[in-house]
Structure formats: structure tokens, C-alpha cells
Amino acid sequence: VSTQSTGVHIVGQTIKCALLVHNASDLTDRLAWATGQISGHVTVDERYVQIAREQQEEVVTNSSSALTKHVANDCFFSSDPEILFCDIQLPPQCSKELKFSGIVPTHSPPSYRGSYIKYSYIVLVGLQRVNKPVTLINLPIRIINLPGISLVDGPKKPLTHPFAPREECINYEDYFMDKVQSLCCKRPRSFEVKTGDGLVSIVRLTKGAYRLGDPIEVNMEFGDLQCVRVTLKLQALETISPESEVKEETDTRCTTHDTKTIQCIHTKSTAVTLHIPLNVVNSFSTNIVLVRWQVHFDFVISHLRKSAEIVDAGLTSVSAKGLDCDWRPLETLNVSTLSWELPIRVVPTLPQYIATIAWQRTQTKDVV
């Protein structure tokens, strides 16, 4: 079983699959039937997450195929099963290729594996030989989506004349990337970080949203207070909705993907770059979970307001004439830590880019 693309697909896009049946024996093989479909599954940690009864009924209703019940009872989506063949005979050392396709709905969540919940998608193929048990083949695929964007209303083919009928969307990927590019264009933003004693720093970002694999450039200009050190952490947060919690006020799980520490004493301004991995998920939400991103700042602030005061504190000895001085670094410095979170939006990128860089392969295939 194989998919005729990179193995990474966009919601609403037609996923084309192929089944290659080969008879490696010296006798003619008789096959009763084969069917193929695409299904989505959700797995939760029952210690912390519960699925409402109406959601469970919806899951059972959507799982119209008997094949999905053999895989798992947590199927929240399954495409209509497609019959590939019935009662065929394969001569020795002969092969037969059959193709089928399916579509994941645009409102489906992306593939995600978190601490509380997991969303996964598979291409499911069932095959049976005459007088033999059913064989199931599961091919995992990755689904990406862009919340808030409907691909149904995508760009149309240009009309050759006024009376020509309107056609369907010409290319899902082009329309998808146009929306992503419009969100990730340069939109400078600045934020002031203050305490009761004064301005700590002015933080500047160059974009309003970032794609998977993009660098996050953070520019910081320090204020009146002396900042000794600053640590930046790129974090993904997973929060369970109150309706799906087993225990009230379940803790939000935080995963740190990149960390940078800058020694910034006597520094007027600095820049830090954080990198978003390709094997993570973009920001999204469902009726069960909310996944969001943030940059966490830890400012270590000195109680000495000016750099000159720190230099004067280092004068440890003076000569008899009073003309020469010996400056040594401070052994101790009274500091306090200020924590601050800056929410950011992370969106998907081109499916081919995710598959080529993150998986280091261009085709998904499963052989049984």
C-alpha cells in the first residue's frame, strides 16, 4: 500500500492511494475481495480526559465501516469504503495495481501526539483470500490543517467566456500556501516589559505568525533596570477543555522545544533566534484540547540601577596615594527574576517541505 505523494496531506485534499497485489507463489491465487478507506482516530489518557456521551455517539455514527472496528474503537472519522475488486485470480508471479482515494474533512484536527490526547490518521486496506481470514493493512499518514481557513471556497479556474460553468478549486496546496503566506508576512510588533521599578526591556517581533521550521527572531532593547541575564524558551502548551476534564483544573502540559540564554550585563540591546521544529504541530483547538505556543522569558534583574554603580561596587582596594585603584568582578550580586510569556501563532508549512526535511523520505509505503 502506498500514497502517491509525500505522506503529508492537507485537510480537504484528495488523498490518492494505490494497492499492489502480487502473487509470489507458483500456483494461481484466488482473492475474494479488497476494500480501502481513510480513517482518523483519537486516543486519550483516561486518567485526565473523558469524552462526552454525545461525542461518543458521533464517533460511532461516523465509523460506518466494519473494518475500523477491527482496528480500534476510537475512530472519529472514516471515509466511505471503496471496493477495489471482487473474486479475481492472479496467475503465478503476476501483479495487479488498484487505486483508490479519500478526503479528510476540512474541520478535522491535525495529526498530533500530546501528553493527554493523540490524533492519528491511517489508510486502511482490508483483503481476503478465498477460505482465508481477513488481512488488514494500516498505513499511517500525517494530516495538517490551518484553523479558521476553509478550503472549500478556494480559488476558481479562470473563465474563458462569461457563460462558462465555474469549476472546482484548481489546487489545494497553492490556495493553502497563499493563506499561510498572508498570515506570515512581516508585521512588526513591540511589547514593553515593566516592573514597579521601571522599564526592563522592549521586545520586538518581526511577524504575526510563524510557519513550522521558521526561525523566530526576537530583538530586545533593555531599559533603565540592569538586566544581568535573560533566558528564552519556545514552548507548546496543551490544555484540556473543562467539559472533558476528569479532575477539575487539570494542569496544562508544557513542552519546551528550544532554549537560549544570553548574558546581557552592560548590554544595551541584543537579538535571539529560536527555531520551530518541523515534527511538531501548529496551533489548533478542538472541543477536547487546546494547543497553543508561547515564548517564555526569564529576566534576571540586578538591584543596581546603573552600570556605573556596578563598576563602583567592584572597587575593592585603593593605593596609599589614592591615584590607582584595583577593580575586581563582584563575588555576589543581589538579583530578582521576572518571568513573562509572549503568545505566538504557529501555522503549517508546505507538506513536501515537512516530509523531505523531517522524515527524510518522499514516499510513504507499507509492505506486508
Q: Per-residue pLDDT for the chain (368 aa), expressed as one digit of tens each?
A: 677 667 888 888 888 888 888 888 888 888 888 899 999 999 999 899 988 655 554 554 454 455 655 555 588 888 888 888 888 888 888 888 888 888 888 889 999 999 999 999 999 998 888 888 888 888 899 999 887 665 554 445 554 544 445 444 456 677 778 888 888 888 899 999 998 888 999 999 999 899 999 999 999 999 888 899 999 999 999 999 999 888 888 889 999 999 999 998 888 999 999 999 988 999 999 999 999 999 999 999 987 655 555 555 555 444 445 545 566 666 777 889 999 999 999 999 888 888 776 454 434 444 44
Give exposure, 232-249, as e/b (b: 16+ Cβ within 10 Å): bbbbbbbbbeeebbeeee
Closest CA to 299 of 272, 268, 336: 336
What is d(CA 56, CA 65) in angstroms, rounded to the nearest whole number?
16
With CA atoms as reference, report the closest residue to 294 among 237, 214, 239, 348. Answer: 237
- Asked if 91 and 31 touch (Cβ cutoff 8 Å), the reply is no
Q: Which residue type is seen at 211?
A: R
